Every structure is written in structure tokens, then in C-alpha cells.
Amino acid sequence: MPEQPSSPPRARLIFDPAEFKYDFGPDHPLRGRRLISLMDLLETSGLWQSENEQTRLPSRAATIEELSLNHTAEYIEAVQRLSVVDREALSPDEQRELEKLELHYGFGEGDTPALPDMHNVCSLIAGGSLVALSAVMGLPEGGTFSSEEDRPLHVYHPAGGLHHAWADRASGFCIYNDISVAIAHILQTTEAKVLYIDFDAHHGDGVQKSFYDDPRVMKISFHETGRYLFPGTGDVLELGSGLGRGYTVNIPLEPFTEDDSYNEAMNALLHPLVTFFAPDVIVSVHGCDTHAWDPLTHLKLTLRGIQKQMKMAHQLAHTYCQGRWVALGGGGYDLYRVVPRAWSMLWAEMSDQTLPKELPAEWITRWHPEWLAVREKEEAAQEVMGKAPAADDFPTTFMDRLEDFPAQPRRWHINEANHLTVALVRHLLVPS
């Protein structure tokens, strides 16, 4: 069992089993199984107990009015219409009308297929992130607490982090942009300044677009360069517009970037940028598709590097924001070996618990066979992406074994390219 904090931590977790329905099917990278395996690992490791009301924050679906803070009325109506559960029961004309809607609003059989009941499921995810941010800001939408000391400082919503959705279009596995909805609510109801840090391998283009001209939101994104990866945005020179110029910070990193180079970029940029901005609250997205085993990206981080992102966000929250911090999930497509370990690690960090060394035997027994069943597909995908298959062993420890991650060829050249990118960002955006 993990070592528990000496006093009750002011951290809460938002989780609803209905969020498992955010699942694009067995042949799609984004599956609800990643949340199921995460919650199972949190329970079996003793890091979180579902019956402990002190660590769970009740949530709800976002209302149409709240969704409209970021999304157009036409788009919300289209999502509702496309949420039909049984398309086979529709007439051919009705089916053709839905197909036209799909094409117009970014849905289809590729990245983001329309899901049955998706309006309700996605509203629940958007509501979870809105409740999370409202809770740490002390707003009524975040719930009522017996005392100020009982109000959470940190809230974790692993189903959140759908950063690609635009105001009027689905994109990149994302339908409603829960992050933008939550931040827009805070901007509407308070005078707070929001720091948004995105650690996902993919650039958070939807959130950037939502607040590109808004100086109340500083957006900092560490991601794989868009030269080789969806969505193709996130260049250093995307700086914001109007009054928001200088409040969009993009750090595009080279493919095959490893822990040390990534951490160097974080250490060089975050503290001076955050000192300048002086935020009231931090919202961070912890997509673990930066991991070397992820089948969709080309970065080469281990869980040690990913853990440093979490520790940095935690430190920044206490240094600059009186602890106010909301952490969201995001991407991550190695559903069995990476996502549950990385996101359990995030909860351990937020709740000040010591991470166990070994994974629970019962969790391994439950999930190892399922991983074996899909392993051939995963390795085929890795080969298509130009990756060698990862270690054959299913992990038995929370942290990675470093021997499973040999040094990358051209390491010096990759590190030097990243160093030059960081230098350019500092020149453009860090006050002297």
C-alpha cells in the first residue's frame, strides 16, 4: 500500500463510469478501456478508493448554455442530431442528411466518427472539467464544502483534456472542448488569469484558437513539431494576436526527443514565463502520448520524464497560484502499459502519496491477457510509424526500466535542434 499523507490532502478526483462510453471502437486508438484500466489500477494499488467521499468530487454534465461559451449553437445542434443511437432505424433520406452533417462538422470514419449518445457523454466530460476548475476557484458550480479547508486545491479529471475540438468542428478524436468551456466559464465569472500548460505530444490547436487574442489566458504547449504530426500547428511564431500577442507560447520539439532534452526545455522556460504572467490558477493537460511506446507519436520520453512534467505543474501551482491546479488527461494510446501507470502517477503526485514500486499482481493478472490479445496490432502500428517494437514484457513496476529504452541515434543533433528552439522562444517571449 502507498504511504498516505499525514493530513488529508486537498486533492479530489472526478470520475463517472459513463465517461467510459467515450470510445471510438475496437480499431480506433482512443478507447474507453484506458480509463477502465486506470481506475482499476488506482483502486488495486490503494492510491484511491471509490468509497472514500473525501477524495471524490461530484460532477455533472455541462448545460447547453455552458457549452455555448466555446461552441456555436449550430455545432451543438449538429452534435445532438448526430447522437442518434440506432441509425439503422432511420430512413435512407434521414441517413443521408446525417452524413452531410458529419462531413460539414468534421465527423467521419477516420479520426473522429460520430458516437451514439455522444452529446450526453461529451457534455458530461465538459461538465467535469468545468466543475473541477470552478471548485479550485471557489465558485458555486464547483460544489459546496463544509469549510474553506475542505475545498480542494487540486482536482484531477482524467477523462478531460480534449484539446483539438474547435468552436464549430470536431477534430482529432475531440468533440466538445472541455478545456475551453471550463476556462471560458472562469473568464466569464471571475477576473482570474489562467495558465494553460499542455504536455500532450499533439499541439492543442483547439484551445489555442479559443483564446488566441485573450491576454487573460497564457497558453504554453510542449509538443512534437507539427512538421510530422497532427494537427500540423504549434510553430514558435504562433504568438497570439491583438491584445493576446505574446500570450501563446509554443515549443515544438524534434521527433525522438528524450527525457533530458524535454526537461531542459521545461526548466528553461516555465518559471520565467509564469513569473511574468502571475496566474491565479493552472490548468494542465498530461497526455502521455509523449512516451516512447505510444503508437501514434515519435517522442521518446519514459515515465521518469513524464513524472517531471507533473512535478513541475505541482510546484508551479504552489509557487504562483496558492496551490490552485486542475490536471486533465488528454492523449495516450498505449492503453495497457503506459496510460494507467502514467495517470496513476499523476494522482499520486496531486494527492501527495508515495508511488508504490510494484504494480499489483491482481491488476497484472486482469490486464496482461488483454494486452497480449492486442499486442500484434500495436506492434504492427509501431512498425508503420517507423518504430521498433517496444519491450516484450508487460510492466510489473510503476516506473519504467531504463534498460528498455536505448539511447536514440542522432541524440546530439536532436538535442541541439531543441536547444535552438528554446533559445528562439526565450528571445521572442521571455522578458529580459
Torsion sign (Cα): 197, 401, 379, 334 = negative
Whether 4 maps to a domain, the answer reads no
Strands (DSSP E) contained in 3-50 are 11-13
pLDDT at res. 325 = 98
Whether 2 maps to a domain, the answer reads no
- Supply the mean pLDDT for the chain: 93
Residue 321: HSE in the Cβ half-sphere, 13 Å Cα cutoff: 27
For the residues of 232-258, what is the DSSP string, one character each? ----TT----GGGTTSEEEEEEPTT--
Dist CA 305 CA 159 (whole Å) = 22
pLDDT at res. 5 = 40
Dist CA 385 CA 49 (whole Å) = 38
C-beta of residue 117 within 8 angstroms of C-beta of residue 87: no
pLDDT at res. 7 = 44
Whether 5 maps to a domain, the answer reads no
Dist CA 351 CA 12 (whole Å) = 8
C-alpha cell at 145: 464544502
Dist CA 284 CA 326 (whole Å) = 6
**Which amino acid, 125?**
I
| Cis preceding linkage at 231, omega within 30 | yes
pLDDT at res. 4 = 44
Whether 1 maps to a domain, the answer reads no
pLDDT at res. 6 = 34
pLDDT below 50 — which residues of the chain?
A: 1-8
Whether 420 maps to a domain, the answer reads yes
Q: Tell which phi-psi region holds residue 57, choosing left (phi > 0), alpha (psi between -120 and 50) or beta.
A: beta
Question: What is the number of domains present in the chain?
Answer: 1
The total of other beta-carbon atoms located within 10 Å of residue 210's CB is 26
Is residue 166 helix, strand or coil?
strand
- Tell me the sheet residues that pair with 217: 194
Whether 6 maps to a domain, the answer reads no
Domain of residue 272 covers: 11-429
For the residues of 185-231, what is the DSSP string, one character each? HHHHH----EEEEE-SSS--HHHHHHTTT-TTEEEEEEEE-TTTSTT
pLDDT at res. 228 = 92
Dist CA 333 CA 347 (whole Å) = 19
Residue 398: CATH number of its domain = 3.40.800.20
Crossing angle of helices 361-384 and 33-44, rounded to 10°: 150
227: nearest Cα among 215, 236, 214: 236
Is residue 85 helix, strand or coil?
coil
C-beta of residue 214 within 8 angstroms of C-beta of residue 309: no
Whether 3 maps to a domain, the answer reads no
282 Cβ contact list (under 8 Å, min separation 6): 194, 195, 196, 197, 313, 316, 317, 320, 321, 324, 325, 326
Whether 307 maps to a domain, the answer reads yes
Catalytic residues: 164
Backbone angles phi, psi at 243, to 5 degrees: -65, -20
| Residue indicated by cell numbers 518559471 | 271
